[in-house]
Chain A
Amino acid sequence: MVAAIRVPKTQRARRELLKHAPKLVETSKKTLILHGTKTSAVLNSVLSDIYHLKRDNAVKYTKKNDNIRPFESGGESSLEFFSLKTDCSLIVYGSHSKKRPNNLILGRTYDHHIYDLVEVGVENYKSMESYVYDKKLAPKLGSKPFFAFIGEHFESAEELKHLKEVLLDLFKGEVVENLNLAGVDRIYVCTAISPTTVYIMHCALRLKRSGTSIPRMELVEVGPSMDLVVRRHRLPVESLKKEAMKTAEHAKKMKNVTKDPVKGKLGKVYMPDQQVGKLTLSNDVKGLKRERREAKKNNEDSKKQKVNPE
């Protein structure tokens, strides 16, 4: 055990490592984009478009990856290693085969272990380059997007419900508390067109004057757009999910405090054993001091005594 303890040699390495450390409040997840041994032109384009959308917080691997099969046991180990190495917790893995053409696996990790997976096929793909629009409208890198989910299948179909959450996690960008209203410039519109298919499009937002303080929204499609057909999916294990859903409030859970609508905030106080015997004594313990009154009285007495003889 002791032999396994290694410490970064330089301060710089230490700082870099500490960036990977778990945080109480997490703000962003990094994305790892990679592909298998075989890809198609469509898939290459899809992956580079996703990378382009998330360029501020993503890592893209360009080499072939041999032994990644996330749905099979043992096939996820190198993926988990890459996740650890690059500190990424969102994974987009593309592969192309006869059985599953234009295959895209969207996955999330918790503690660098696979958390959940959704496998989708890409159809009707239109790349970013194919769209022609006023470049002034192009969304800025890293801006916080809107999301619009349309269709009842997002609630009724289990796999789409799952895909919705994964898409939200993948594209939501940084978690912020304060948002600059001037920076609102993009939206992802996801429509469930069948119980297995989601039509996703990326649009720029134009804020038009409406005469009130709330601007009128206008959508300009900027691409990419594609149909995602769900193939396989794996939900997180229940115990792992519970673990992963913990937030900072869980970390410092308020104990012994209850709120009553009538009495207000109520607290219970438990006094631990005071261990008076172990108490450290210093010179300025209150009990050891002369009381002021006593001291005063003594002083007065001595004065009187001094006065009296005269």
Chain B
Amino acid sequence: MAEVPAVVAAASSCEVDLGNLMAYDPSHHVVSAAAAASREELRQECLRKGTELAQAVADALFALPPSEDRDGPIVHLPPPTVRLPREKHLPKPKPPTKWELFAKAKGITKRKKNKREWDEQTQSWKRTYGYDRVNDDKDIPIVEAKLTDEPGVDPFAQRRDEKKKRVEKQEKNRLENLKKAAKIGALPSHIQLAAKALPITGTKADLPKKSRKEDLESVVGMASSATASGGKFDEKLPGEKPPKHSGKHRKFLPVAEGKGMGSLEKQQNDKILNSLLARNSDEPLDVGKAITMYKVKKEKQRRKEKDMSSKSDKLKPQKKPHKKSSKKKA
């Protein structure tokens, strides 16, 4: 039953996707299950056609130039034409840390350090970092006193304290960098995957965002104060907090002269007046503005010239004669 006469002739009309080792014959019409005399007949037909298609794939596959290997001939497959979806999103590049940005701006490059270093204290080779390292606090029996030392302060404890603070600071920096990375959705994978609460990807980006509590509160606040009375006589909702900025939004200084606050108004106006009236004010010429004005002027002039030249060309219909120029001529 297994022996089916193979059809060597290549299938006439089949598409071969060598990347997936797939052949597809869209033209072949299979007798439908009901019409076929028996299941066995259908099976035979499928096997026959399948053999044909397998031969078509093999023809293409074995025609590829093979490279010999110990296990057999190896061929390089072309990329598949039937494209299938990914299982996960493309990995996102990690954003640079604050230090990396700084180092780049300053041109600081990483230098490799040896794993072991010579320790003067113990006169032996020790690790650069980690347990039992060079300059370990444990190996320092004596700290020399300085003139600036305060009495009653344990220098050993101080050293330990400083170290602890440095570690804490680094941890704070690390978290800060992670936060920044999380914001753009590029957390390192081991953290992203370990955190169960975080959504894995941006797949959910399409879903409408849940409004945050603060957003809702601010909207409620705006709505409740949007009456003529500023929401003074409105009924409050249960749990509604009073608006943060009630009433005044602008501060007017007293106009009447007096002590303290009274002179502020005058000072303010004096400052503005002085800057306007001063002959040698810091920047009498606004360069940016001047350049713009110059450019606009140039542009106008050029357009005028262009207009004139087009006017002289009689073949072209005059669509929009320049008003000013036409008046002058008339």
A-side interface residues toward B, CB under 8 Å?
Answer: 1-2, 4-8, 14, 17-18, 20-24, 26, 29, 84, 89, 108-113, 115, 124, 133-134, 144-152, 154-155, 165, 168-169, 172, 175-184, 187, 189, 191-194, 197, 199, 201, 203, 205, 207-208, 210, 213-221, 225, 227, 236-237, 239-241, 243-248, 250-251, 278, 280, 282
Q: In the bound complex, do residue B175 and residue A151 qualify as a contact, i.e. CB atoms below 8 Å apart?
A: no
Cβ of B182 < 8 Å from any Cβ of A?
A: yes
A4-B197, A124-B39, A214-B58 known, 5 other contacts, Cβ within 8 Å: A2-B175, A203-B50, A217-B51, A219-B50, A236-B85
Q: Which chain B residues lie closer than 8 Å to A208 at the CB level? A: 6
Q: In the bound complex, do residue A22 and residue B50 qualify as a contact, i.e. CB atoms below 8 Å apart?
A: no
Q: Give the tally of cross-chain contacts (CB within 8 A).
A: 248
Shortest A19–chain B CB gap in Å is: 10
The residue in A89, A148, A184 that gathers the most chain B C-beta atoms within 10 A of its C-beta is A148
Q: Which of A203, A214, A220 contacts B59 (CB 8 A)?
A: A214
Shortest A11–chain B CB gap in Å is: 10
Q: Which of B76, B83, B84, B179 contacts A178 (CB 8 A)?
A: B76
Q: In the bound complex, do residue B6 and residue A191 qualify as a contact, i.e. CB atoms below 8 Å apart?
A: no
**Residue on B with the closest CB to A244?**
B85
Q: In the bound complex, do residue B72 and residue A181 qualify as a contact, i.e. CB atoms below 8 Å apart?
A: yes
**Residue on A with the closest CB to B46?**
A191
Q: How far, in whole Å, are A20 and B188 apart by their CA atoms in the complex?
A: 12
Q: Which chain B residues lie closer than 8 Å to A23 at the CB level? A: 88, 91
Q: In the bound complex, do residue A8 and residue B194 qualify as a contact, i.e. CB atoms below 8 Å apart?
A: yes
The residue in B42, B86, B178 that gathers the most chain A C-beta atoms within 10 A of its C-beta is B86
Q: Which of B63, B75, B85, B106 contacts A245 (CB 8 A)?
A: B85
Q: Which chain A residues lie closer than 8 Å to B318 at the CB level? A: none
Q: Which chain A residues lie closer than 8 Å to B27 at the CB level? A: 152
Shortest A228–chain B CB gap in Å is: 12
Q: How far, in whole Å, are A21 and B58 apart by their CA atoms in the complex?
A: 36
Q: How far, in whole Å, are A196 and B241 apart by their CA atoms in the complex?
A: 62
Q: In the bound complex, do residue A150 and residue B46 qualify as a contact, i.e. CB atoms below 8 Å apart?
A: yes
User: What are the 3 closest A-B residue pairs judged by CB atoms, nearest first?
Assistant: A182-B72, A21-B189, A280-B107
**Residue on A with the closest CB to B86?**
A244
Q: In the bound complex, do residue A243 and residue B32 qualify as a contact, i.e. CB atoms below 8 Å apart?
A: no
Q: In the bound complex, do residue B190 and residue A179 qualify as a contact, i.e. CB atoms below 8 Å apart?
A: no
Shortest B22–chain A CB gap in Å is: 4
- Interface members, chain B 176-194 (any A CB < 8 Å): 178-179, 182, 189-194
**Residue on A with the closest CB to B192?**
A21
Stretch at the interface among B118-126, B198-206, B224-232: B198-206
- Majority secondary structure of chain A interface residues (helix, strand, loop or mixed): mixed
Q: Which chain B residues lie closer than 8 Å to A111 at the CB level? A: 87-89, 200-201, 203
Q: How far, in whole Å, are A251 and B59 apart by their CA atoms in the complex?
A: 35
Q: Which of A2, A149, A169, A218 contacts B25 (CB 8 A)?
A: A149
Q: In the bound complex, do residue A245 and residue B28 qualify as a contact, i.e. CB atoms below 8 Å apart?
A: no
Given contact pairs A110-B86, A178-B75, A194-B33, A203 touches B191 in the complex (Cβ within 8 A): no
Given contact pairs A109-B87, A179-B74, A216 touches B55 in the complex (Cβ within 8 A): yes
Q: Which chain B residues lie closer than 8 Å to A124 at the CB level? A: 39
Cβ of B71 < 8 Å from any Cβ of A?
A: yes
Shortest A195–chain B CB gap in Å is: 9
Q: In the bound complex, do residue B74 and residue A187 qualify as a contact, i.e. CB atoms below 8 Å apart?
A: no
Q: Which of A1, A14, A108, A154 contacts B85 (CB 8 A)?
A: A108
Q: How far, in whole Å, are A84 and B198 apart by their CA atoms in the complex?
A: 13
Given contact pairs A112-B200, A148-B53, A1 touches B77 in the complex (Cβ within 8 A): no
**Residue on A with the closest CB to B21?**
A146
Cβ of B73 < 8 Å from any Cβ of A?
A: yes
Q: How far, in whole Å, are A6 and B178 apart by their CA atoms in the complex?
A: 11
Q: Which of A149, A214, A246 contacts B86 (CB 8 A)?
A: A246
The residue in A20, A146, A207 that gathers the most chain B C-beta atoms within 10 A of its C-beta is A146
Given contact pairs A22-B91, A24-B90, A89-B87, A219 touches B47 in the complex (Cβ within 8 A): yes
Cβ of B23 < 8 Å from any Cβ of A?
A: yes
Q: Which of B21, B89, B193 contacts A147 (CB 8 A)?
A: B21
Shortest A116–chain B CB gap in Å is: 8
Q: Which chain B residues lie closer than 8 Å to A2 at the CB level? A: 175, 178-179
Q: Which chain A residues lie closer than 8 Å to B203 at the CB level? A: 110-111, 113, 240, 243
Q: How far, in whole Å, are A2 and B29 apart by their CA atoms in the complex?
A: 62
Q: In the bound complex, do residue B6 and residue A218 qualify as a contact, i.e. CB atoms below 8 Å apart?
A: yes
Q: How far, in whole Å, are A155 and B26 apart by their CA atoms in the complex?
A: 7
Q: In the bound complex, do residue B55 and residue A189 qualify as a contact, i.e. CB atoms below 8 Å apart?
A: no
Mask for B98-121, Cβ within 8 A of A = 1, else 0?
Answer: 000000011100000000000000
Q: In the bound complex, do residue A169 and residue B190 qualify as a contact, i.e. CB atoms below 8 Å apart?
A: no
Q: Which chain B residues lie closer than 8 Å to A151 at the CB level? A: 25-26, 28-30
Q: How far, in whole Å, are A151 and B27 apart by their CA atoms in the complex?
A: 6
Shortest A188–chain B CB gap in Å is: 9
Q: How far, in whole Å, are A177 and B77 apart by their CA atoms in the complex?
A: 5
Q: How far, in whole Å, are A112 and B27 apart by their CA atoms in the complex?
A: 37
Q: In the bound complex, do residue B55 and residue A217 qualify as a contact, i.e. CB atoms below 8 Å apart?
A: yes
